[in-house]
Chains A and B, each alone.
Chain A
Amino acid sequence: MKLKLISAAVAAMIAAAPAMAELTFTALSYRTGPYAANGIPFADGYQDYFTLLNERDGGIGGERVNLVECETGYNTEKGVECYESTKGTGALVYQPLSTGITYQLIPKATADGIPVHSMGYGRTSAKNGEVFRNIFNYPANYWDGASVAIKHLLDVNGGSLDGKKIALVYHNSAYGKEPIRTLEELSKKHGYELMLLPVDHPGQEQKSQWLQIRRERPDHVLMWGWGVMNQVAIQEAVNIRYPMENFIGIWWSGSENDVLPAGDGANGYKALTFHNTGSDFPLFDDIQKYVVGAGKAAGAGDQIGTALYNRGLYAAMLAAEAAKTAQGIHNTGPLTPAQMRDGMENLEITEEKMTALGLPGFGPSFKVSCQNHGGDGLTAVVQWDAGAKQWNKITDFIAPDAEILSPLVEADAAAYAAEAGITPGCN
């Protein structure tokens, strides 16, 4: 009882603490747990961008940004606790960085009227904004990724995948299962044979899967992995001498953490991405000056310029741009979650905007609308150069195969609408 009383006092203190005049953003990050190695750079990038805005511009549109960080450890129950404890603070948008937590938040956030931005993860059919009013997954989703991977393979194979064998090594969870349906549809169209190899959480044990790959010799391997699973898979691929240029990972399998442990063997490994890599952008000079120089870098400050750091930065940039759009639409400084939602729905990212921000060519240009919460799904392929220890972008941003994807998105969104009793529409 005493414990409850104390925690009541503490909880009340938290609820009362933040001042409402600021723009509150939340980061449901995971700096601990089995996926911490990937969670830390993302969280650092997200935090540093908002720190930069506060330090350099005094916030967004004159309003300072208050970033509330909550540790989930990639655990769904902790994610729920984080959501409940932060939603009362006027949080404008949630970025759960976990497909499991995103699925939890879709109905909850919709009921509470708070937008969720699941950038490159979560439920793919959230692209249909008429059904998922508060959920956004621009600029790309898993089905876009699967389609672009196949398109890239078509390019590599001279335009035909007929009779080829493609293996999918995936995290045996909601996240890893996402691309299967798309890849099956695409196999009908392009005539390749799909081989499914699930890997159970956390993915440290993959001997049998790679033995199978060694035996059946698929022409290409795709991977939907996260955390330690990526490192193990790449190491196993090196061990069986699988040609690295035939091995493509989704964007969550394309960070430095994944390829560095395999050393030179990982040279040539490919991954998808929806934003650029490296720190060769004018914005990073500002980060050095205002954030690192001022001693305000998040975490240990050693992640700047890594793939996942850039992704966190990109997520924060999109959130800040959406907030600016919302301030423009409603002609106000302080925002409510509903206004933020409008801002996200009318977000337009152009090359000029990115150049003005100091991030020229950092991501694809896209436009969000009520019908399309997912952008255009433009995705590029990067390749690991083990000698220089960097990712090199080897293609432009490629558009996915909308002909296959649109019906799938429609069907899945319609199924969700029927299940949840939602009438699709823009009002």
Chain B
Amino acid sequence: MFYREAGDFKTSYKADSQTFPIKFDRYRYYAVLFVAFALIPLVINDYWVNAIFMPFLIYSIAAIGLNILVGYCGQVSLGTGGFMAVGAYAVYKLMTAFPEVNIFFHVILAGGITAFVGVLFGLPSLRIKGFYLAVATLAAQFFLVWLFNRVPWFYNYSASGQISAPERTVFGIEVTGANTDAWATYLFCLVFTFVCALIARNLTRGAQGRKWMAIRDMDIAAEIIGVDPLKAKLSAFAVSSFFVGISGALFFAVYLGAVEVGEVFGINKSFLVLFMVIIGGLGSIFGSFAGAAFLVLLPVFLKNALVGGLGWPTDLAAHLEFMIVGALIIVFLIAEPHGLAQLWRVAKEKLRLWPFPH
């Protein structure tokens, strides 16, 4: 009834090929942006930002990055944790070496450095595919973590090998360090998430994204129709690592504040982000958000419900949490192998016909 193309006349190609061609969808998108940018910062507190919103936003960026590589370009990567570590250590070195430069640029530069490292580790993808490439990126994961643990220069020779973020400001408002306000860190991450999602969306529906998808669907056919696999694959690695690097930088500088590479950026992180992408939906920006939300919010929700609501012992709740999350992942993947994004697509199709289905 509300959700339909009928009556929404487009008079230009630009209007016709916009991201949200349906009016209802468009307004819904604006409403989400309005709530996220204007309303949430007014009511947010430390718990909500540190336990829920910040991990959600930062994991969303990482999931978008990995989705470009895995979902759009078809190159399986298990190196996400390692690339996040590159972003984190890059931003740490930049923050401590150039304290006068704004943290905003440091985060972007950290993304750039990660993109470079990502391209280096993407080179094997020109020769190897599928599971074998996954193993090669797994090597990147272990190598990078080992490197940051082994070479003291990366952690400025601190006794413990930990890196901790010094205080940095944007427009005079602190966004890293201990004395931050909830709304400031939230908005800082939100801006990055919004811009990254916007860039990713527009890249993936343009010529570049079509090249990636052509490589994904059949690389030989893509080569025959004129897609250069070298450029396509390496650009996917670069763009993906750029986003992953930004998420790693924010994860360290804004969210955790102090990081130990082996514990925070280990292989578990790579799998977590990969699961977000798979559960959310391969090849979908919305899916990246949905997957991140699912895996960040569900454990927190279960913990609050079981321990806080029902008053169960914490260890029982923690074990049940693993079982419930695991079971739900299996249920979701059996019911909808294409992830939460596909459920959303199906829901939209149904909404088009509502309330008069055939």
Contact = CB atoms under 8 A, between A and B. Distances in A.
Interface string A93-113: 000000110011011101100
Interface in B36-90: 46-48, 50-52, 55
Contacts of A421: 167
A7 B300 contact: yes
B325 interface: no
Given A104-B256, A419-B166, 20 more contacts: A7-B300, A11-B308, A31-B314, A33-B318, A71-B303, A71-B314, A77-B256, A80-B51, A84-B51, A100-B258, A104-B258, A107-B177, A108-B257, A111-B179, A174-B162, A178-B159, A178-B160, A198-B149, A201-B263, A419-B164
B64 to A, nearest CB: 20
Contacts of B219: none
- B-side interface size class: 35 or more
B304 A11 contact: yes
B160 A4 contact: no
Contacts of B48: 11
A332 to B, nearest CB: 27
B159 A31 contact: no
Nearest to B54: A80
Given A11-B47, A100-B260, A172 B149 contact: yes
Given A6-B301, A31-B318, A178-B160, A14 B258 contact: no
A299 B159 CA distance: 36
B319 interface: yes
Contact of B47 (A70, A88, A104): A88
Interface in A368-404: none
Interface in A71-123: 71, 73, 75-77, 80-81, 84-85, 87-88, 99-100, 103-104, 106-108, 110-111, 123
Given A70-B314, A81-B50, A7 B166 contact: no
Contacts of B55: 77
The 5 closest A-B pairs by CB, nearest first: A107-B178, A31-B315, A174-B160, A14-B308, A71-B314
Nearest to A8: B48
Contacts of B262: 172-173, 200-201
Nearest to A109: B178
Contacts of A14: 304, 308
A181 B297 contact: no
A13 interface: yes
A339 to B, nearest CB: 21
Interface of A: 3-4, 6-7, 10-11, 13-15, 17, 29, 31-33, 36, 40, 69-71, 73, 75-77, 80-81, 84-85, 87-88, 99-100, 103-104, 106-108, 110-111, 123-124, 172-175, 177-178, 180-181, 198, 200-201, 299, 412, 419-421
Contacts, number: 134
Given A29-B314, A84-B51, A201-B266, A10 B309 contact: yes
Nearest to B51: A81
A419 B46 CA distance: 24
Contact of A84 (B46, B293, B297, B313): B46
Contacts of B319: 32
Query: Looking at B167, B300, B314, which has the most chain A CB atoms within 10 Å of its CB?
Result: B314
B135 interface: no
B161 interface: yes
B264 interface: yes
18 contacts: A3-B301, A6-B301, A11-B48, A11-B304, A11-B308, A13-B309, A31-B318, A75-B263, A76-B264, A103-B160, A103-B162, A111-B178, A173-B161, A174-B162, A178-B160, A201-B262, A201-B266, A419-B164
Given A10-B304, A17-B308, A108 B178 contact: yes
A175 B162 CA distance: 10
A249 to B, nearest CB: 19
Interface of B: 46-48, 50-52, 55, 149, 159-162, 164, 166-167, 177-179, 255-260, 262-264, 266, 293, 297-298, 300-301, 303-305, 307-309, 313-315, 317-319
Given A31-B318, A173-B262, A420 B166 contact: yes
A110 B46 CA distance: 15
A212 B120 CA distance: 34
Given A81-B50, A100-B263, A7 B304 contact: yes
Contacts of A100: 162, 258, 260, 263
A71 B318 contact: yes
A229 to B, nearest CB: 13
B318 A32 contact: yes
A198 B161 CA distance: 13
A100 B47 CA distance: 20
A99 B169 CA distance: 27
B178 A110 contact: yes
Given A32-B319, A412-B159, A13 B51 contact: no
A84 B309 contact: no
A10 B52 CA distance: 13
Nearest to A104: B258
Given A7-B297, A17-B308, A80-B50, A181 B159 contact: yes
